[in-house]
Amino acid sequence: MSTSSLLLDYIKKELAVGSKRNIQMEDDLLSAGIIDSLGVLQLVAFIEDQFNIQMPDEDVVLENFQSVNSLANYLDNYQKV
């Protein structure tokens, strides 16, 4: 499974608050209220577990969590480095 579909899957199952909408790869996760700040931290824990990485605290910024795609991009780049 690609990074982005793995993330999307987890967000849909575990984090999406009160919305049954079909979440898209480009949807703005935070401003659309799909996940809150606690959800982001939960997502960080999931990522660290899943990809066996330690995500730096300073990378938990809006740019990286804008959408599923931006997060997947960040992770793919992170793993290359």
Partner 1 sequence: MNDVIIIGGGPAGSAMGSYLSMAGIPNIILEGSIFPRPHVGESMVTSSTRVFEEIGFLPVMEREGFIHKFGASWHAPGGKEFAIEFGEFPQEGIRQDYTYHVDRSKFDLLLLKHAESLGSKVYLGVHVKQVLFENGRAYGVRVIMGGIEVDLPSKMVVDASGRNTLLGNQLKIKKKDPIFNQYAVHAWYKNVDRGQPPTDDFIHIYFLPVERGWVWQIPINDEITSIGVVAEKDVFKQARLDYEAYFDAHCQINPDLVKAMRNAVRVNEFKSEGDYSYSMEKFVGDGYMMIGDAARFVDPIFSSGVSIALYSAKYGSERIRYALEANDFSEEALRPYEVKIREGVAIWYEFIRLYYKLLPLFTHFISSKKHRIEVLRLLQGDVFDRGEVPVLDAMRKYIETVEKADTHILKPNLALIPLD
Shortest distance (Å) from residue 66 CB to partner 1: 10
70, 63 contact by CB (below 8 A): yes
Shortest distance (Å) from residue 8 CB to partner 1: 19
Q: Is 42 in the site for partner 1 (CB under 8 A)?
A: yes
Residues contacting residue 79 through CB under 8 Å, at least 6 positions apart: 51, 53
CA 25 to CA 54: how far, in whole Å?
A: 24
Given the complex with partner 1, which of 13 and 57 has the nearer CB atom?
Answer: 57
Both tokens of residue 26? 């480009």
Q: Is 28 in the site for partner 1 (CB under 8 A)?
A: no
Q: Is 45 in the site for partner 1 (CB under 8 A)?
A: yes
